[in-house]
Amino acid sequence: MTAQLSKKSEAWSARFSEPVSDLVKRYTASVFFDKRLGQFDIEGSLAHAEMLNAQGIITAADYAEIQRGMAQISSEIAAGQFEWLLDLEDVHLNIEKRLTELVGDAGKRLHTGRSRNDQVATDIRLYVRSAIDDIDVLLRDLRLALVKLAEQHADTILPGFTHMQVAQPITFGHHMLAYV
pLDDT of res. 31: 83
Number of domains forming the structure of the chain: 2
Are 107 and 146 in the same domain?
no
Full residue range of the structural domain in which residue 160 is found: 139-177
Cα dihedral value 153, 157, 163, 165, nearest 10: -150
With a cut of 60, say whether residue 4 has pLDDT above it: no
Tell me the pairing of strands 165-171 and 157-162: antiparallel
Say if residues 44 and 126 touch (Cβ distance below 8 Å): yes
pLDDT of res. 16: 65
pLDDT digits (tens, 9 = 90+) for 71-128: 999 999 999 999 998 888 899 999 999 999 999 999 999 999 999 899 999 999 999 9
Are 79 and 149 in the same domain?
no
Compute the mean pLDDT over every residue in the chain, rounded to the nearest whole number.
89
Are 143 and 107 in the same domain?
no
Q: Which H, E and C letters describe 13-52, residue by residue? A: HHHCCCCCCHHHHHHHCCHHHHHHHHHHHHHHHHHHHHHH
Say if residues 166 and 158 touch (Cβ distance below 8 Å): no
Residue 152 lies in a domain: yes
Are 160 and 106 in the same domain?
no
Are 95 and 6 in the same domain?
yes
Type of residue found at 30: S
User: For 11-30, what is the mean pLDDT?
Assistant: 70
Residue 122 lies in a domain: no
Lowest mean pLDDT among 19-33, 65-79, 149-163: 19-33
Say if residues 114 and 48 touch (Cβ distance below 8 Å): yes
Confidence of residue 13 (pLDDT cuts 50, 70, 90): low
Residue 98 lies in a domain: yes
Residue 125 lies in a domain: no
Residue 169 CB: number of other CB atoms within 10 A? 9
pLDDT of res. 1: 46
